Structure 1
């Protein structure tokens, strides 16, 4: 799994218990998956279709640094399926794991659009002549 993003837990990210608010974390995960999918599928009209069971294992506190990791599981005709793990860099504990996140490429009318991709592409792959 590649960990693409780090977040620093600030006061506005906390719940009444003083730990990381789960909704904030899910917002960050959804954004990370959207950005990754838009780049991979080369379509800014890529949206979240499905997020499987969310398993909160540990938390984070103000001042902690977390990492969001995603891994491609499958390329569908119009979709990209990923899994996600978030870990606390300070405690080295896993915070959350999600087995399945599906992002779908859409056309101008909001209908699923085939993307033609079959594998993860990196910048170096796209720069080849």
Structure 2
């Protein structure tokens, strides 16, 4: 799994217990999944279709750094399925895991559209092919 995103836990990210609010972490994950999908499918029109059970395992507090990792599980005809892990960079503990997140590629009419991708591509490889 590649951990490309880091977030700094700030006071506005905390719940009444003084730890990272789960909803804030889920917003970060949804945003990272969207950005990852946009880059992979080369289309800015994507939506989150499904997020499986979310397993909270640890927490983070103010000042901690949270890393978010994504890994593609499979490419569908109009979708991409990924798994995610968020971990606390300071304590090395896994904060949460999401086993399945499905992101859908949309066409001009806002309906699911085939994307034609079958494997993960890296920007450096795309640049070498031009």
Q: TM-score, normalized by length of structure 1?
A: 0.98
1:1-129 to 2 correspondences below 5 Å:
1-127=1-127, 128-129=129-130
Figure out how many residues of one structure are paired with residues of the other and give that number.
129
Structure 2 unaligned blocks of 5 or more: none
Q: In structure 2, what is the Cα distance between the partners aligned to 1:85 and 1:57?
A: 11
Q: Runs in 1 of length 4+ with deviation above 6 angstroms?
A: none
Q: In structure 2, what is the Cα distance between the partners aligned to 1:62 and 1:17?
A: 11
1:22-51 deviation per Cα after TM superposition (whole angstroms, max 9, x unaligned): 000000000000000001001111110000
User: SS at the partner of 1:117?
Assistant: coil
Q: Give RMSD over aligned pairs.
A: 0.6
Q: In structure 1, what is the Cα distance between the partners aligned to 2:97 and 2:75?
A: 20
User: SS at the partner of 1:59?
Assistant: coil
Structure 1 unaligned blocks of 5 or more: none
Q: TM-score, normalized by length of structure 2?
A: 0.97
